[in-house]
Amino acid sequence: MLDTAKVSPSILSADFLHLGEELDRVACADYIHVDVMDGHFVPNLSYGTTIVEAVRRATDLPIDVHMMVSNPDDTIDWYADAGADLITVHYEAATDLSRIIDRLHDRGLAAGVVLNPATPVYVLEDVLTRIDLVLIMSVNPGFGGQGFIEETYEKLRRLKRLCHEVGADPLIQVDGGVGTANARKLGEAGADVLVAGSAVFRAEDPGQVVNELRELATEGIRSGRAAL
């Protein structure tokens, strides 16, 4: 259980013509979030292993790869080889989730599972004690800049309760429509790690926004804990 929130800026909203400079501007972050989209599992296409390799060369921060692909069972090793530190795969796409978790751990990576907005948290009950992170999507995956789904707060609270019931303590990450307006409330509801793309990279000072998000979410975490 974290006492201080973490922030993972999503390079989906970065200027790829100046990617190294963009990463320098968020050097105060805790992770770099890389959204891999295959145009099949989600209706958009982003980038593959070459971008992960480029990010690895440009930063020492842990690389958090979110795989929005229909065949994660077959492709997780590509991204492990490219330099990822944490890989999250969608529950909805994984053919053998248990095998994926074991494979990532065998490779020395952290293993995460993503839930789409319509997927209930209880589906993770049997694997919660084996994974390092749960990513709750607060928009429908596939496009940046979407509006935040308000029901996410209650979903985060349900996930925290389920973790407590089964004796698990994975990091809880939230992605989609995250910004300074909702960061504190997300921390209070149970989020440990905030993914933010547009809110960070479209700001005049991305690093300042990263610090503001961390501070606000940390206030929420501590407020939520005090209320228990």
Q: Which residues are catalytic?
A: 35, 175
Question: Crossing angle of helices 72-82/49-58, nearest 10°?
Answer: 30
CA distances from 123 to 105, 109, 128, 130, 134 (A): 21, 23, 10, 14, 12
CA distances from 125 to 85, 87, 161, 191, 196 (A): 24, 19, 11, 18, 27
CA distances from 71 to 77, 83, 96, 193 (A): 12, 19, 10, 25
The dihedral formed by the CA atoms of 133, 139, 141 and 145, expressed in degrees to the nearest 10: -110
